[in-house]
Chains A and B, each alone.
Chain A
Amino acid sequence: MFAALNKYRQAFLIGLQSNLVYRANFAVRGFFSLFHLVVVFILWGAAYAHAPTIGGFSFGQTLTYFLVMLVMQFFVGAFNEDYQISEDIRNGLINQFLLKPINYFLYRFSIFVAARLVTGVLILLPLLVALPLLKDYLTLPAESWRFALVIPAMVFSALIQFSIAYCFGMLTFWFLDIQGFVILSMAIESLLGGQMFPLDLMPEWIYRTAQCLPFYYQTYFPTAILTGRISDLGQVLQGLGIQLAWVLVLLGINQLLWTRGLRRHTAVGG
C-alpha cells in the first residue's frame, strides 16, 4: 500500500518540478486572465448602471463571482492535460506504462494535482497585486458551512475536470488529431460551466437542464457555493450527491475508453 503510494508521490514530485519550470508561462497566463476580469468589470459595470441588481445580485457580488471562478479554474481546472495524454499515446510513450506496475490514470492524475498546486498559487500572486483595486467590490456570504462544503466540491470538481480531459486524451486511440474536439468542449464547458456568465441568469428551464450535466459541476458548482448563488444547504448537499455520481460515471468511462483504446493501440514508437 505504502509502496504504491510512494510511486505516485514520486510522480507528484516530478510534476511539481516540471510545472515549476513553466512558472513563467503560467504567470503570463494568469496576467492575461486579469485582462479578462477587466472585460468583465467593464461589461457588467455598464450593465449594472441601469439595473441595481441582476438576478438578485449586486455588482460587487457578480464581480466576486467571476473572481472566484478564475481562482477555481486555476486551482481545479484542467489546462492541457488532454494534449499531454494525447501526445503520450501518439508518441508511444504509454508503452512503458503497459510494461510497468504503474497505473497510467493515477500517474497522470498525480501530475495534474501537482500542476494545479503550482498554477493555483501562481494565480494568487497577480490577484494579490490587484487586491487594493478590487477589495471594495469583494463580498462573500459569511455562513461557515459554505467554506467547509466547498472543499469536497472542489475535489470532485477536479476529478470531473481531469476525467473529461482524460476522456478527450483517450480519443487519440481513434482519431489522429483531437484539437477540434478539445476546443469544442472548451466552448461547451465555458458556457455550461458558468465562465461566461452566472448560470442562474439563464431562463429557468435551461438552468435546470444544466444542473443535470457534468459541466455545471466543473467550476460553477463550487463557485456558486462560495459566492452564495446557491442559497440553501439542502441544495448544496443534493448537488454534492449528483457531483459524486458524475465523478463515478466519468471514471467508469475513462476505464472503458482505456481498455477499448488499448485494443486498437499498435505500440508504435516509444
Chain B
Amino acid sequence: MTRYLEIWLASARYSVTRTLMFRFDFFLWALVELFWMAVNLLLISVIYRHTDSVAGWNKYEMLLLVGTSLLVQRFLMGFFWSSLFEMGRNIRSGNFDFFLAQPGNVLFMASTRKLDPDGLMNSFVAMGVVAYAARQLGLQPSVLDISLYAVMILCGLIIHYSMLVITISLAFWLTSAQGIEGSYFTLAEFSRLPREAFKGVASIVFVWFLPVVIVSNAPARTLLRGFDPLWGLGLLAATLVWFSAAVIVFHRGLRRYTSASS
C-alpha cells in the first residue's frame, strides 16, 4: 500500500515538474476548463431568467448541484483523465506493453501516470461555486454534513473513474473506435440535472441503471436537505458495483490485448 502511495507521489512530482516546464500550456488549459465551467453556469442563469423552478429546484439549488457535478468532474480531469486518455491511445497503438512490463497493478500504473494540475486548480473554482450557492441559500451545514459531502464526492469520483475506465477499455475490442472517450462527456451531462426531472424510462435508465444522476444529486442533497441514509447507501452500492465492473471489464479486455498496432 505504501509502495503504491510512493509511486503515486513520484508521478505527482513528475507532473508538477512537467507543468512548471510548460507554463503556457498550464494557463491555457486552466483557462479552457474555466471557460467550459462558465458555459455550464451560464446555461443555468439563462434558464432561470425565464423560469423560477426546474423540477422544484430554484436557481441557487441548481447552481449547487451543477457546482457539485463540476467538482467531481474536475477531480476526474485532474487525477485521471490524461492517463486514461493515453491508455486508450496506447491500447490502439500497441504501446501499452510499457505498462504491462511494470512491477505493479496494471490498472493502477496506467491510470496514475499523469496528473493535471490545471484540472485540480479549477476544482477550487467548482468548490467556490458550491460555497457561493450555499451562502445564497443561507445554508449552515455542520462539520458532519461537510464530511459526508466530501466522502460522497470521493464516491462520485470513483464512479466517474469507473465509467471512464469501462469506456476506454472498449478500445481492447474496438481498436478502430477513436474518440470513444468523448462519450463520457455526454453521460456526464446528465449529472447536472436534478433527480426529480427524470420520469418514466429516463428515470430507470439514468437514475437506476447508470449512476450519472446519483453521483451529483446525493452529495448536493446532503448539503441542501441533510443526510438521507437511503441516498448514502445507494451511492455506496453504486460505487462498489461500478468499480468492480470497471476492474472486471478492464481485465477481460487485457486478455484480448495483442500488443500489435492497428
Residues of A within 8 A of B (CB): 22, 24-25, 28-29, 32-33, 35-36, 38-39, 42-51, 54-55, 177, 180-181, 183-184, 187-188, 190-191, 196-197, 201-203
Known contacts A39-B189, A49-B53, A50-B53; can you find 13 more A-B pairs with CB under 8 A? A29-B179, A29-B182, A36-B186, A46-B55, A46-B197, A47-B47, A48-B51, A51-B51, A54-B47, A177-B25, A187-B32, A196-B42, A202-B46
A190 with B39, Cβ < 8 A, contacts A24-B177, A42-B193, A43-B197 known: yes
Question: Total A-B residue pairs with C-beta atoms closer than 8 Å?
Answer: 91
Q: How far is the CA of A187 from the CA of B180 in the complex (A)?
A: 20
Given contacts A180-B32, A181-B28, A187-B36, whether A42 and B46 have CB atoms under 8 Å apart is no
User: B247 CB to closest chain A CB, in angstroms?
Assistant: 24
Contact residues of B between 177 and 198, Cβ < 8 Å to A: 177-180, 182-183, 186-187, 189-190, 193-194, 196-198
Q: Is B97 an interface residue (CB 8 A)?
A: no
CB distance from A37 to the nearest CB of B (A): 10
**The residue from A35, A42, A50, A184 contacting B52, defined by CB atoms under 8 A apart:** A50
* Partner pick for B39 among A32, A39, A43, A191, CB 8 A cutoff: A191
Complex: A38 Cα to B202 Cα, angstroms: 9
Contact status B186-A35, CB under 8 Å: yes
User: Distance (Å) between the CB of A49 and the closest chain B CB?
Assistant: 7
Q: Is B154's beta carbon under 8 Å from chain A?
A: no
Tell me, yes or no, whether B43 is within 8 Å of chain A by CB: yes
When A184-B32, A187-B36, A188-B35 are in contact, do A50 and B51 touch as well, CB less than 8 Å?
yes
Q: How far is the CB of A172 from chain B (nearest CB, A)?
A: 15
Assess whether B51 is in contact with A39, with CB atoms less than 8 Å apart: no
- On chain B, the number of residues with a Cβ less than 8 Å from chain A's Cβ atoms is 36
Taking a contact as CB atoms under 8 Å apart, the answer to whether B25 and A42 are in contact is: no
Chain A interface helix/strand/loop/mixed? helix
Which residues of B are at the interface with A, using a C-beta cutoff of 8 A? 25, 28-29, 31-32, 35-36, 39, 42-43, 46-47, 49-55, 176-180, 182-183, 186-187, 189-190, 193-194, 196-198, 202
B32 touches A183 (CB 8 A): yes
Are B39 and A25 in contact (CB-based, < 8 A)? no
Q: Complex Cα distance A35/B182, Å? A: 12
- Chain A residues closer than 8 Å to B39, beta-carbon distance: 187, 190-191, 196
Q: Which residue of B lies closest to A40 (CB)?
A: B189
Residues in A with CB closer than 8 Å to B36 are 183, 187
Q: Please determine whether A46 and B35 come into contact, CB atoms closer than 8 angstroms.
A: no
Q: What residues of A have a CB within 8 angstroms of the CB of B47 in the complex?
A: 43-44, 47, 54, 197, 201
Give, as a whole number of angstroms, the nearest-CB distance from A176 to chain B: 9
| Contact in complex: A180, B183 (CB < 8 Å) | no
Residues in B whose Cβ lies below 8 Å from that of A190: 39
How many Å lie between the Cα of A223 and that of B47 in the bound state?
20
Q: How far is the CB of A78 from chain B (nearest CB, A)?
A: 15
A36 touching B43 by the CB < 8 A rule? Answer: no
Closest to B37 in A: A187
**Which chain B residues border A181 with CB–CB below 8 Å?**
28
Q: Tell me if B32 and A201 are in contact (CB < 8 A).
A: no
> In the complex the two chains form, is A184's CB within 8 Å of B31's CB?
yes
User: What is the bound-complex CA distance between A181 and B32, given in angstroms?
Assistant: 8
Is the beta-carbon distance between B198 and A25 smaller than 8 angstroms?
Answer: no
B43 touches A197 (CB 8 A): yes
